[in-house]
Structure 1
Amino acid sequence: MMEYLSIPTAAGSFDAIAAGPADGRPVLLLHGFPEAAVSWEHQVAVLGDRGYRAVAPDQRGYSPGVRPELAAEYGMDSIVGDVLAIADELGWSRFDLVGHDWGAAAAWWTASEHPGRLRTLTAVSTPHPGALGNALRTDEDQQMRSQYMRDWRSSGTEKQMLANNGEALRRMFEWKVPASRVDEYVRRLSEPGALTAALNWYRANRPRAEIGKVTVPTLYVWSTEDVAFGSTAALDTENWVAGAYSFQMLEDVTHWIPEEVPEVLTALLLEHLSAH
Protein backbone atom coordinates (compact mmCIF):
# COMPACT_ATOMS: atom_id res chain seq x y z
CA MET A 1 0.00 0.00 0.00
CA MET A 2 1.43 3.37 -1.07
CA GLU A 3 2.00 5.95 1.64
CA TYR A 4 2.43 9.71 1.31
CA LEU A 5 4.93 11.29 3.64
CA SER A 6 6.15 14.72 4.63
CA ILE A 7 9.78 14.49 5.75
CA PRO A 8 10.91 17.50 7.82
CA THR A 9 14.53 18.68 7.53
CA ALA A 10 16.39 21.88 8.28
CA ALA A 11 15.93 22.88 4.61
CA GLY A 12 12.17 22.33 4.74
CA SER A 13 9.72 19.46 4.37
CA PHE A 14 10.08 16.99 1.50
CA ASP A 15 6.99 15.29 0.07
CA ALA A 16 7.54 11.59 -0.59
CA ILE A 17 5.90 8.32 -1.53
CA ALA A 18 6.74 5.18 0.43
CA ALA A 19 5.90 1.51 0.81
CA GLY A 20 6.97 -1.47 2.85
CA PRO A 21 7.39 -2.30 6.53
CA ALA A 22 8.91 0.32 8.81
CA ASP A 23 11.68 -2.10 9.80
CA GLY A 24 12.42 -3.21 6.22
CA ARG A 25 15.83 -2.73 4.61
CA PRO A 26 15.84 0.98 3.64
CA VAL A 27 15.99 2.09 0.00
CA LEU A 28 15.95 5.76 -1.07
CA LEU A 29 15.07 6.57 -4.69
CA LEU A 30 15.89 9.95 -6.28
CA HIS A 31 14.12 11.23 -9.40
CA GLY A 32 15.43 13.48 -12.16
CA PHE A 33 14.26 16.34 -14.41
CA PRO A 34 11.47 17.05 -15.28
CA GLU A 35 9.85 14.36 -13.16
CA ALA A 36 8.90 13.73 -9.53
CA ALA A 37 8.90 10.97 -6.95
CA VAL A 38 6.02 9.22 -8.72
CA SER A 39 8.41 8.26 -11.53
CA TRP A 40 9.46 5.53 -9.05
CA GLU A 41 5.90 4.43 -8.23
CA HIS A 42 6.33 0.92 -9.70
CA GLN A 43 9.70 0.32 -8.05
CA VAL A 44 8.54 1.62 -4.66
CA ALA A 45 5.45 -0.62 -4.72
CA VAL A 46 7.39 -3.76 -5.67
CA LEU A 47 10.18 -3.09 -3.17
CA GLY A 48 7.56 -2.60 -0.48
CA ASP A 49 5.90 -5.90 -1.39
CA ARG A 50 9.29 -7.62 -1.11
CA GLY A 51 9.78 -6.38 2.43
CA TYR A 52 12.02 -3.38 1.76
CA ARG A 53 11.24 0.07 3.15
CA ALA A 54 11.25 2.17 -0.02
CA VAL A 55 10.98 5.96 0.04
CA ALA A 56 11.08 8.30 -2.97
CA PRO A 57 11.05 12.04 -2.21
CA ASP A 58 10.20 14.97 -4.43
CA GLN A 59 13.62 16.56 -4.44
CA ARG A 60 14.77 20.13 -3.76
CA GLY A 61 12.74 22.52 -5.92
CA TYR A 62 10.10 19.87 -6.65
CA SER A 63 8.76 19.73 -3.08
CA PRO A 64 6.93 23.03 -2.46
CA GLY A 65 8.29 23.00 1.09
CA VAL A 66 11.90 23.01 -0.16
CA ARG A 67 11.94 25.51 -3.02
CA PRO A 68 14.65 28.15 -2.47
CA GLU A 69 14.67 30.92 -5.05
CA LEU A 70 18.39 31.32 -5.69
CA ALA A 71 20.13 29.05 -8.19
CA ALA A 72 23.16 28.98 -5.86
CA GLU A 73 21.08 26.95 -3.41
CA TYR A 74 20.89 24.04 -5.87
CA GLY A 75 24.56 23.15 -5.85
CA MET A 76 25.54 19.54 -5.31
CA ASP A 77 26.61 20.20 -1.71
CA SER A 78 23.03 21.20 -0.89
CA ILE A 79 21.53 18.29 -2.81
CA VAL A 80 23.78 15.69 -1.17
CA GLY A 81 22.97 17.36 2.14
CA ASP A 82 19.28 16.77 1.42
CA VAL A 83 19.90 13.07 0.80
CA LEU A 84 21.62 12.67 4.16
CA ALA A 85 19.08 14.85 5.98
CA ILE A 86 16.19 12.77 4.63
CA ALA A 87 17.93 9.55 5.63
CA ASP A 88 18.68 10.96 9.08
CA GLU A 89 15.07 11.98 9.62
CA LEU A 90 13.94 8.49 8.57
CA GLY A 91 16.37 7.01 11.10
CA TRP A 92 18.54 5.35 8.47
CA SER A 93 22.20 5.14 9.41
CA ARG A 94 22.88 3.04 6.31
CA PHE A 95 20.72 2.60 3.21
CA ASP A 96 20.59 1.60 -0.44
CA LEU A 97 20.53 4.57 -2.82
CA VAL A 98 18.93 4.60 -6.29
CA GLY A 99 18.87 7.54 -8.70
CA HIS A 100 17.83 8.43 -12.24
CA ASP A 101 19.00 11.42 -14.30
CA TRP A 102 19.83 14.25 -11.84
CA GLY A 103 18.90 11.85 -9.06
CA ALA A 104 21.67 9.55 -10.28
CA ALA A 105 24.16 12.43 -10.28
CA ALA A 106 23.18 13.14 -6.68
CA ALA A 107 23.57 9.45 -5.89
CA TRP A 108 27.06 9.26 -7.45
CA TRP A 109 28.22 12.26 -5.41
CA THR A 110 26.69 10.86 -2.22
CA ALA A 111 28.40 7.51 -2.79
CA SER A 112 31.74 9.21 -3.44
CA GLU A 113 31.64 11.49 -0.42
CA HIS A 114 29.75 9.37 2.12
CA PRO A 115 30.40 5.72 1.25
CA GLY A 116 29.91 4.66 4.84
CA ARG A 117 26.25 5.65 4.67
CA LEU A 118 25.44 3.48 1.66
CA ARG A 119 24.96 -0.25 1.38
CA THR A 120 24.67 -0.14 -2.42
CA LEU A 121 24.34 2.36 -5.26
CA THR A 122 22.13 2.02 -8.33
CA ALA A 123 22.59 4.72 -11.00
CA VAL A 124 20.15 4.82 -13.91
CA SER A 125 20.99 6.60 -17.19
CA THR A 126 23.51 9.13 -15.80
CA PRO A 127 27.15 7.95 -15.89
CA HIS A 128 29.69 8.64 -13.18
CA PRO A 129 30.36 12.43 -13.19
CA GLY A 130 34.07 11.82 -13.77
CA ALA A 131 33.32 9.73 -16.86
CA LEU A 132 30.87 12.36 -18.10
CA GLY A 133 33.43 15.11 -17.52
CA ASN A 134 36.02 13.22 -19.56
CA ALA A 135 33.52 12.68 -22.37
CA LEU A 136 32.58 16.36 -22.40
CA ARG A 137 36.24 17.25 -22.89
CA THR A 138 37.09 14.65 -25.54
CA ASP A 139 33.94 13.35 -27.28
CA GLU A 140 32.12 15.52 -29.83
CA ASP A 141 29.05 13.30 -29.65
CA GLN A 142 28.66 13.89 -25.91
CA GLN A 143 29.36 17.59 -26.32
CA MET A 144 26.42 17.80 -28.75
CA ARG A 145 24.18 15.71 -26.52
CA SER A 146 24.87 17.97 -23.54
CA GLN A 147 24.26 21.27 -25.32
CA TYR A 148 20.80 21.43 -23.72
CA MET A 149 22.42 21.84 -20.28
CA ARG A 150 23.85 25.17 -21.40
CA ASP A 151 20.73 26.19 -23.30
CA TRP A 152 18.48 25.69 -20.28
CA ARG A 153 20.48 28.16 -18.22
CA SER A 154 18.98 31.03 -20.27
CA SER A 155 16.21 33.12 -18.77
CA GLY A 156 13.65 32.36 -21.48
CA THR A 157 13.62 28.61 -20.92
CA GLU A 158 10.56 28.54 -18.64
CA LYS A 159 8.37 30.37 -21.13
CA GLN A 160 9.50 28.16 -23.99
CA MET A 161 8.95 24.91 -22.07
CA LEU A 162 5.50 25.84 -20.77
CA ALA A 163 4.14 27.33 -24.03
CA ASN A 164 1.19 25.54 -25.65
CA ASN A 165 0.29 23.56 -22.53
CA GLY A 166 3.86 22.45 -21.94
CA GLU A 167 4.41 21.13 -25.46
CA ALA A 168 8.21 21.23 -25.18
CA LEU A 169 8.14 19.45 -21.83
CA ARG A 170 5.85 16.78 -23.22
CA ARG A 171 8.07 16.24 -26.24
CA MET A 172 11.03 15.45 -23.96
CA PHE A 173 9.40 12.21 -22.90
CA GLU A 174 9.46 10.88 -26.48
CA TRP A 175 5.99 9.35 -25.98
CA LYS A 176 7.57 6.65 -23.78
CA VAL A 177 5.94 7.77 -20.51
CA PRO A 178 2.16 7.37 -20.00
CA ALA A 179 0.28 10.52 -21.02
CA SER A 180 -1.48 10.78 -17.67
CA ARG A 181 1.88 10.82 -15.89
CA VAL A 182 3.26 13.47 -18.26
CA ASP A 183 0.12 15.53 -17.59
CA GLU A 184 0.94 15.35 -13.90
CA TYR A 185 4.52 16.50 -14.44
CA VAL A 186 3.40 19.43 -16.60
CA ARG A 187 0.76 20.40 -14.05
CA ARG A 188 3.29 20.36 -11.21
CA LEU A 189 5.88 22.35 -13.14
CA SER A 190 3.26 24.91 -14.19
CA GLU A 191 2.79 25.96 -10.55
CA PRO A 192 4.34 29.38 -9.81
CA GLY A 193 8.10 29.05 -9.38
CA ALA A 194 8.19 25.28 -9.81
CA LEU A 195 9.87 25.08 -13.22
CA THR A 196 12.41 27.75 -12.29
CA ALA A 197 13.28 25.73 -9.19
CA ALA A 198 13.70 22.56 -11.26
CA LEU A 199 15.87 24.37 -13.81
CA ASN A 200 18.02 25.76 -11.01
CA TRP A 201 19.65 22.32 -10.87
CA TYR A 202 21.18 23.29 -14.24
CA ARG A 203 21.78 26.91 -13.31
CA ALA A 204 23.69 26.29 -10.09
CA ASN A 205 27.41 26.88 -10.37
CA ARG A 206 29.22 23.97 -12.03
CA PRO A 207 31.64 22.32 -11.93
CA ARG A 208 32.59 21.67 -8.33
CA ALA A 209 35.52 19.78 -6.83
CA GLU A 210 36.74 16.65 -8.59
CA ILE A 211 34.85 13.51 -7.74
CA GLY A 212 36.72 10.33 -6.89
CA LYS A 213 36.12 6.66 -7.55
CA VAL A 214 33.14 5.01 -5.90
CA THR A 215 33.81 2.08 -3.56
CA VAL A 216 30.18 1.16 -2.84
CA PRO A 217 28.80 -1.92 -4.70
CA THR A 218 27.35 -0.30 -7.82
CA LEU A 219 24.82 -1.14 -10.51
CA TYR A 220 24.80 1.18 -13.52
CA VAL A 221 21.92 0.85 -16.01
CA TRP A 222 22.21 2.67 -19.35
CA SER A 223 20.06 2.48 -22.47
CA THR A 224 21.23 2.67 -26.08
CA GLU A 225 18.59 5.20 -27.18
CA ASP A 226 19.37 7.73 -24.45
CA VAL A 227 19.57 11.13 -26.13
CA ALA A 228 21.41 12.77 -23.20
CA PHE A 229 24.18 10.28 -22.48
CA GLY A 230 26.21 8.50 -25.14
CA SER A 231 28.24 5.33 -24.99
CA THR A 232 31.62 6.99 -24.33
CA ALA A 233 30.79 8.03 -20.76
CA ALA A 234 28.62 4.97 -20.18
CA LEU A 235 31.43 2.56 -21.02
CA ASP A 236 34.02 4.60 -19.13
CA THR A 237 31.99 4.52 -15.90
CA GLU A 238 33.49 1.17 -14.87
CA ASN A 239 36.86 2.92 -14.55
CA TRP A 240 35.36 5.13 -11.85
CA VAL A 241 34.08 2.33 -9.61
CA ALA A 242 36.64 0.63 -7.35
CA GLY A 243 34.14 -1.68 -5.66
CA ALA A 244 31.86 -4.41 -7.02
CA TYR A 245 30.39 -3.23 -10.32
CA SER A 246 27.64 -4.37 -12.67
CA PHE A 247 26.86 -2.62 -15.97
CA GLN A 248 23.55 -3.35 -17.66
CA MET A 249 22.91 -2.00 -21.17
CA LEU A 250 19.29 -1.93 -22.32
CA GLU A 251 18.82 -2.10 -26.10
CA ASP A 252 16.20 0.06 -27.83
CA VAL A 253 15.18 1.87 -24.62
CA THR A 254 15.21 5.66 -24.22
CA HIS A 255 16.34 7.85 -21.33
CA TRP A 256 13.13 7.23 -19.37
CA ILE A 257 14.07 3.77 -18.09
CA PRO A 258 12.13 3.73 -14.77
CA GLU A 259 8.81 4.35 -16.52
CA GLU A 260 9.44 2.92 -19.99
CA VAL A 261 10.60 -0.52 -18.79
CA PRO A 262 9.67 -0.55 -15.08
CA GLU A 263 9.60 -4.33 -14.73
CA VAL A 264 13.05 -4.72 -16.31
CA LEU A 265 14.64 -2.08 -14.09
CA THR A 266 12.95 -3.39 -10.96
CA ALA A 267 14.22 -6.92 -11.64
CA LEU A 268 17.77 -5.61 -12.07
CA LEU A 269 17.47 -3.57 -8.88
CA LEU A 270 16.17 -6.50 -6.83
CA GLU A 271 18.98 -8.70 -8.12
CA HIS A 272 21.56 -6.07 -7.17
CA LEU A 273 20.11 -5.60 -3.69
CA SER A 274 19.95 -9.33 -3.01
CA ALA A 275 23.59 -9.76 -4.11
CA HIS A 276 24.83 -7.26 -1.51
Structure 2
Amino acid sequence: MTELQHIAITPHLTFDALVEGDVGAPMVLLLHGFAESMHCWRAQLEALADAGYRAVAPSQRGYSPGARPDPRDASNYHIDRLVEDAMAIAASCGYGERRFHLAGHDWGGSIAWALADRFAERLASLTVLSRPHPNAFNRALPMLDGDQAYRSRHHTAFLEPDAGEKLLADDAKQLRERLAAAGVPESAIAQHLAVLGNRDAMEAALTWYRARGAIRTPLGPIRVPTLYIWGDADETVGRMAAEGTADFVAAPYRFEALAGVGHFAGEQAPDRVNELMLPHLAAFPV
Protein backbone atom coordinates (compact mmCIF):
# COMPACT_ATOMS: atom_id res chain seq x y z
CA MET A 1 0.00 0.00 0.00
CA THR A 2 1.24 3.48 -0.88
CA GLU A 3 2.16 5.55 2.16
CA LEU A 4 2.66 9.29 2.52
CA GLN A 5 5.97 9.86 4.29
CA HIS A 6 7.90 12.96 5.31
CA ILE A 7 11.59 12.69 4.46
CA ALA A 8 13.90 15.15 6.22
CA ILE A 9 17.31 15.82 4.71
CA THR A 10 18.16 18.87 6.85
CA PRO A 11 16.38 20.62 9.75
CA HIS A 12 14.83 22.99 7.19
CA LEU A 13 14.08 20.63 4.29
CA THR A 14 11.40 17.96 4.70
CA PHE A 15 9.85 16.41 1.62
CA ASP A 16 6.43 14.86 1.24
CA ALA A 17 6.81 11.55 -0.57
CA LEU A 18 4.71 8.63 -1.69
CA VAL A 19 6.46 5.37 -0.81
CA GLU A 20 5.53 1.78 -1.61
CA GLY A 21 7.40 -1.52 -1.34
CA ASP A 22 9.42 -3.39 1.25
CA VAL A 23 12.07 -1.61 3.31
CA GLY A 24 15.52 -2.66 2.13
CA ALA A 25 14.40 -3.74 -1.35
CA PRO A 26 16.21 -2.17 -4.33
CA MET A 27 15.10 1.45 -4.49
CA VAL A 28 13.60 3.32 -7.44
CA LEU A 29 13.63 7.10 -6.95
CA LEU A 30 10.97 8.82 -9.09
CA LEU A 31 11.23 12.55 -9.85
CA HIS A 32 8.22 14.47 -11.13
CA GLY A 33 8.06 17.45 -13.46
CA PHE A 34 5.93 20.55 -14.01
CA ALA A 35 3.01 21.01 -13.57
CA GLU A 36 2.59 17.86 -11.54
CA SER A 37 3.69 16.38 -8.22
CA MET A 38 4.58 13.11 -6.57
CA HIS A 39 1.11 11.85 -7.57
CA CYS A 40 2.14 11.48 -11.24
CA TRP A 41 3.91 8.21 -10.32
CA ARG A 42 1.00 6.43 -8.57
CA ALA A 43 0.67 3.73 -11.25
CA GLN A 44 4.41 3.12 -11.30
CA LEU A 45 4.65 2.96 -7.49
CA GLU A 46 2.24 0.06 -7.34
CA ALA A 47 3.81 -1.81 -10.25
CA LEU A 48 7.33 -1.36 -8.90
CA ALA A 49 6.36 -2.52 -5.42
CA ASP A 50 4.65 -5.58 -6.85
CA ALA A 51 7.88 -6.35 -8.73
CA GLY A 52 9.95 -6.27 -5.52
CA TYR A 53 11.23 -2.69 -5.46
CA ARG A 54 11.07 0.08 -2.87
CA ALA A 55 9.57 2.99 -4.86
CA VAL A 56 9.97 6.56 -3.55
CA ALA A 57 8.30 9.53 -5.26
CA PRO A 58 8.88 12.89 -3.52
CA SER A 59 7.19 16.18 -4.20
CA GLN A 60 10.35 18.11 -4.82
CA ARG A 61 11.85 21.39 -3.63
CA GLY A 62 9.19 24.08 -3.60
CA TYR A 63 6.35 21.63 -4.13
CA SER A 64 6.63 20.22 -0.60
CA PRO A 65 5.63 22.87 1.98
CA GLY A 66 8.42 21.70 4.29
CA ALA A 67 11.06 22.14 1.57
CA ARG A 68 10.30 25.58 0.18
CA PRO A 69 13.17 28.05 0.58
CA ASP A 70 12.57 31.66 -0.44
CA PRO A 71 11.95 31.76 -4.23
CA ARG A 72 13.03 35.39 -4.36
CA ASP A 73 16.57 33.98 -4.27
CA ALA A 74 16.66 31.90 -7.45
CA SER A 75 19.89 30.21 -6.38
CA ASN A 76 17.79 28.24 -3.88
CA TYR A 77 16.27 26.45 -6.88
CA HIS A 78 19.30 25.96 -9.10
CA ILE A 79 19.47 22.49 -10.63
CA ASP A 80 22.52 21.76 -8.47
CA ARG A 81 20.27 22.10 -5.40
CA LEU A 82 17.68 19.81 -6.98
CA VAL A 83 20.30 17.15 -7.73
CA GLU A 84 21.62 17.43 -4.17
CA ASP A 85 18.07 16.99 -2.85
CA ALA A 86 17.62 13.78 -4.82
CA MET A 87 20.86 12.31 -3.53
CA ALA A 88 20.04 13.35 0.03
CA ILE A 89 16.57 11.83 -0.19
CA ALA A 90 18.15 8.55 -1.32
CA ALA A 91 20.52 8.70 1.64
CA SER A 92 17.71 9.50 4.08
CA CYS A 93 15.83 6.46 2.79
CA GLY A 94 18.81 4.26 3.68
CA TYR A 95 20.52 4.11 0.29
CA GLY A 96 23.43 6.45 0.92
CA GLU A 97 25.95 3.67 0.28
CA ARG A 98 23.87 1.63 -2.15
CA ARG A 99 23.15 1.95 -5.84
CA PHE A 100 19.57 2.63 -6.87
CA HIS A 101 17.40 3.05 -9.95
CA LEU A 102 16.35 6.54 -11.05
CA ALA A 103 13.40 7.73 -13.12
CA GLY A 104 12.39 11.25 -14.07
CA HIS A 105 9.68 12.95 -16.08
CA ASP A 106 9.86 16.46 -17.60
CA TRP A 107 11.82 18.62 -15.11
CA GLY A 108 12.43 15.46 -13.13
CA GLY A 109 14.03 14.13 -16.31
CA SER A 110 16.33 17.13 -16.47
CA ILE A 111 17.40 16.45 -12.89
CA ALA A 112 17.81 12.75 -13.67
CA TRP A 113 20.08 13.45 -16.67
CA ALA A 114 22.24 15.75 -14.52
CA LEU A 115 22.39 13.25 -11.66
CA ALA A 116 23.36 10.44 -14.03
CA ASP A 117 26.11 12.63 -15.48
CA ARG A 118 27.59 13.38 -12.05
CA PHE A 119 26.87 10.20 -10.10
CA ALA A 120 26.89 7.41 -12.68
CA GLU A 121 28.49 5.02 -10.22
CA ARG A 122 25.48 5.36 -7.87
CA LEU A 123 22.87 4.37 -10.45
CA ALA A 124 21.92 0.90 -11.64
CA SER A 125 19.64 2.30 -14.35
CA LEU A 126 18.06 5.49 -15.65
CA THR A 127 14.55 5.92 -17.06
CA VAL A 128 13.49 9.26 -18.52
CA LEU A 129 10.03 10.21 -19.77
CA SER A 130 9.64 13.00 -22.33
CA ARG A 131 12.69 15.15 -21.50
CA PRO A 132 15.54 14.63 -24.00
CA HIS A 133 19.21 14.70 -23.08
CA PRO A 134 20.15 18.40 -22.65
CA ASN A 135 22.68 18.25 -25.49
CA ALA A 136 20.05 16.88 -27.86
CA PHE A 137 17.65 19.61 -26.79
CA ASN A 138 20.26 22.35 -27.21
CA ARG A 139 21.09 21.03 -30.69
CA ALA A 140 17.45 20.95 -31.76
CA LEU A 141 16.46 24.33 -30.31
CA PRO A 142 18.14 26.60 -32.92
CA MET A 143 17.35 24.42 -35.95
CA LEU A 144 16.08 26.41 -38.90
CA ASP A 145 12.69 24.73 -38.99
CA GLY A 146 11.94 26.33 -35.61
CA ASP A 147 10.02 23.27 -34.46
CA GLN A 148 11.67 22.81 -31.06
CA ALA A 149 11.84 26.55 -30.41
CA TYR A 150 8.08 26.75 -30.98
CA ARG A 151 7.39 23.74 -28.77
CA SER A 152 9.50 25.30 -25.99
CA ARG A 153 7.98 28.77 -26.14
CA HIS A 154 6.27 28.27 -22.77
CA HIS A 155 9.70 28.14 -21.09
CA THR A 156 10.23 31.82 -21.91
CA ALA A 157 6.71 32.66 -20.73
CA PHE A 158 7.45 31.03 -17.39
CA LEU A 159 10.28 33.51 -16.82
CA GLU A 160 7.85 36.44 -16.72
CA PRO A 161 7.15 37.88 -13.26
CA ASP A 162 3.37 37.41 -13.59
CA ALA A 163 3.56 33.82 -14.85
CA GLY A 164 2.32 32.32 -11.58
CA GLU A 165 -0.64 34.66 -11.38
CA LYS A 166 -1.67 33.76 -14.94
CA LEU A 167 -1.35 30.02 -14.35
CA LEU A 168 -3.47 30.16 -11.21
CA ALA A 169 -6.12 32.49 -12.64
CA ASP A 170 -9.71 31.26 -12.84
CA ASP A 171 -9.08 28.23 -10.63
CA ALA A 172 -5.92 27.30 -12.58
CA LYS A 173 -7.96 27.00 -15.77
CA GLN A 174 -4.90 27.11 -18.05
CA LEU A 175 -3.17 24.27 -16.23
CA ARG A 176 -6.31 22.19 -15.93
CA GLU A 177 -6.97 22.46 -19.66
CA ARG A 178 -3.38 21.66 -20.60
CA LEU A 179 -3.24 18.58 -18.40
CA ALA A 180 -6.65 17.35 -19.52
CA ALA A 181 -5.78 17.84 -23.20
CA ALA A 182 -2.65 15.72 -22.65
CA GLY A 183 -4.66 12.81 -21.28
CA VAL A 184 -4.11 13.32 -17.55
CA PRO A 185 -7.16 11.96 -15.67
CA GLU A 186 -9.31 14.50 -13.84
CA SER A 187 -8.66 12.80 -10.50
CA ALA A 188 -4.90 13.17 -11.03
CA ILE A 189 -5.26 16.83 -12.02
CA ALA A 190 -7.02 17.47 -8.72
CA GLN A 191 -4.20 15.75 -6.83
CA HIS A 192 -1.54 17.82 -8.58
CA LEU A 193 -3.36 21.09 -7.98
CA ALA A 194 -3.82 20.20 -4.32
CA VAL A 195 -0.01 20.39 -4.20
CA LEU A 196 0.75 23.10 -6.76
CA GLY A 197 -2.42 25.18 -6.97
CA ASN A 198 -1.42 27.87 -4.49
CA ARG A 199 0.72 30.95 -4.89
CA ASP A 200 3.65 29.84 -2.71
CA ALA A 201 4.08 26.47 -4.41
CA MET A 202 3.59 27.88 -7.91
CA GLU A 203 6.15 30.64 -7.43
CA ALA A 204 8.67 28.12 -6.10
CA ALA A 205 8.02 25.76 -9.02
CA LEU A 206 8.48 28.54 -11.56
CA THR A 207 11.73 29.57 -9.89
CA TRP A 208 13.19 26.30 -11.23
CA TYR A 209 12.87 27.85 -14.69
CA ARG A 210 14.12 31.24 -13.56
CA ALA A 211 17.18 29.72 -11.91
CA ARG A 212 18.07 27.80 -15.05
CA GLY A 213 17.14 30.30 -17.76
CA ALA A 214 16.10 29.27 -21.26
CA ILE A 215 19.01 26.93 -22.10
CA ARG A 216 19.95 23.67 -20.42
CA THR A 217 23.56 23.23 -19.32
CA PRO A 218 25.38 20.75 -21.59
CA LEU A 219 26.32 17.43 -20.04
CA GLY A 220 28.78 14.72 -20.90
CA PRO A 221 27.73 11.37 -22.35
CA ILE A 222 25.57 9.33 -19.99
CA ARG A 223 27.25 6.13 -18.79
CA VAL A 224 24.22 4.58 -17.10
CA PRO A 225 21.93 2.04 -18.84
CA THR A 226 19.12 4.23 -20.10
CA LEU A 227 15.51 3.83 -21.18
CA TYR A 228 14.08 6.93 -22.85
CA ILE A 229 10.31 7.05 -23.41
CA TRP A 230 8.80 9.73 -25.64
CA GLY A 231 5.26 10.12 -26.89
CA ASP A 232 5.05 11.21 -30.51
CA ALA A 233 2.13 13.51 -29.60
CA ASP A 234 4.26 15.38 -27.03
CA GLU A 235 3.63 19.05 -27.75
CA THR A 236 6.78 20.16 -25.92
CA VAL A 237 9.45 17.81 -27.35
CA GLY A 238 9.94 17.26 -31.07
CA ARG A 239 11.27 14.21 -32.86
CA MET A 240 14.72 15.70 -33.56
CA ALA A 241 15.47 16.23 -29.87
CA ALA A 242 13.95 12.89 -28.88
CA GLU A 243 15.73 10.77 -31.48
CA GLY A 244 18.92 12.78 -31.04
CA THR A 245 19.21 11.70 -27.41
CA ALA A 246 20.83 8.45 -28.61
CA ASP A 247 23.95 10.42 -29.57
CA PHE A 248 24.61 11.30 -25.93
CA VAL A 249 24.25 7.96 -24.13
CA ALA A 250 27.43 5.85 -23.94
CA ALA A 251 25.79 2.85 -22.26
CA PRO A 252 23.08 0.32 -23.14
CA TYR A 253 20.24 2.44 -24.50
CA ARG A 254 16.65 1.88 -25.50
CA PHE A 255 14.41 4.50 -27.11
CA GLU A 256 10.66 3.93 -27.17
CA ALA A 257 8.35 6.24 -29.11
CA LEU A 258 4.75 5.77 -28.00
CA ALA A 259 2.29 6.42 -30.82
CA GLY A 260 -0.43 8.90 -29.98
CA VAL A 261 0.87 9.55 -26.47
CA GLY A 262 1.54 13.07 -25.25
CA HIS A 263 3.81 14.71 -22.70
CA PHE A 264 2.46 12.96 -19.60
CA ALA A 265 3.03 9.34 -20.64
CA GLY A 266 3.14 7.94 -17.12
CA GLU A 267 -0.43 9.04 -16.55
CA GLN A 268 -1.84 8.80 -20.06
CA ALA A 269 -0.39 5.34 -20.80
CA PRO A 270 0.63 3.95 -17.39
CA ASP A 271 0.42 0.28 -18.33
CA ARG A 272 2.68 0.77 -21.33
CA VAL A 273 5.21 2.73 -19.28
CA ASN A 274 5.22 0.00 -16.65
CA GLU A 275 5.71 -2.67 -19.34
CA LEU A 276 8.82 -0.84 -20.50
CA MET A 277 10.26 0.14 -17.11
CA LEU A 278 10.09 -3.19 -15.34
CA PRO A 279 12.22 -5.22 -17.80
CA HIS A 280 14.70 -2.34 -18.01
CA LEU A 281 15.24 -2.31 -14.25
CA ALA A 282 15.40 -6.09 -14.10
CA ALA A 283 18.10 -6.15 -16.77
CA PHE A 284 20.38 -3.94 -14.66
CA PRO A 285 20.11 -5.02 -11.01
CA VAL A 286 21.72 -3.03 -8.23
TM-score (norm 2): 0.93
> Which residue number corresponds to residue 4 of structure 2?
4
Residues 254-273 of structure 1: pairs in structure 2 closer than 5 A: 254-273=262-281
Larger mean Cα displacement after TM superposition, 30-39 or 8-17 = 8-17
**1:150 counterpart (156, 173, 180):** 156
SS at match of 1:138: coil
Q: How does 1:9-28 map to 2 (within 5 A)?
A: 9-10=9-10, 12-28=13-29
Deviates most, 21-30 or 168-177: 168-177
Structure 1 unaligned blocks of 5 or more = none
CA contact (8 A) 2:182 2:263 kept: no
Residues 113-146 of structure 1: per-residue CA shift (max 9 Å, x gap): 1101100000000000111011113251001111
Deviation of the 1:271 alpha carbon? 1.1
Match of 2:32 in 1: 31
CA–CA separation in structure 1 for the residues paired with 2:246 and 2:65: 37
Show CA shifts across 1:182-239 (max 9, x none): 1222232233411001111111143575310000000000010001000011011000
- For residues 115-264 of structure 1, what are the structure 2 equivalents within 5 Å? 115-139=120-144, 140-173=146-179, 174=181, 176-206=183-213, 207=215, 209-264=217-272
**Retained in 1: the 8 A contact 2:117–2:221?**
yes
Q: Percent identity?
A: 41
Tell me how far apart the structure 2 counterparts of residues 121 and 164 of structure 1 sit (CA, whole Å).
Answer: 38
Contact kept in structure 2, 1:72 and 1:205, CA below 8 Å: no
| d(CA) in 2 for partners of 1:250, 1:68 | 37
CA distance in 1, matches of 2:28, 2:187: 26
State the alpha-carbon separation in 1 of the partners of residues 172 and 182 from structure 2: 14
Distance 2:182 2:236 in 1: 16
Residue equivalent to 2:101: 96
Question: Shift in Å at residue 2 of structure 1?
Answer: 0.9
- Structure 1 window deviating more from structure 2 (204-213 vs 135-144): it is 204-213
Deviation at 1:160, TM superposition (A): 1.1
One-letter amino acid of the counterpart of residue 189, structure 1: L
Runs of 4+ in 1 over 4 A off after TM superposition: none
Number of aligned residues: 276
Distance 1:275 1:33 in 2: 29
The alpha carbon displacement at 1:177 in A equals 1.1
- What residue identity is the alignment partner of 2:26? R
Corresponding residue number in structure 2 for 1:105: 110
Asked if structure 2 preserves the Cα contact closer than 8 Å seen for 1:71 and 1:201, the reply is: yes
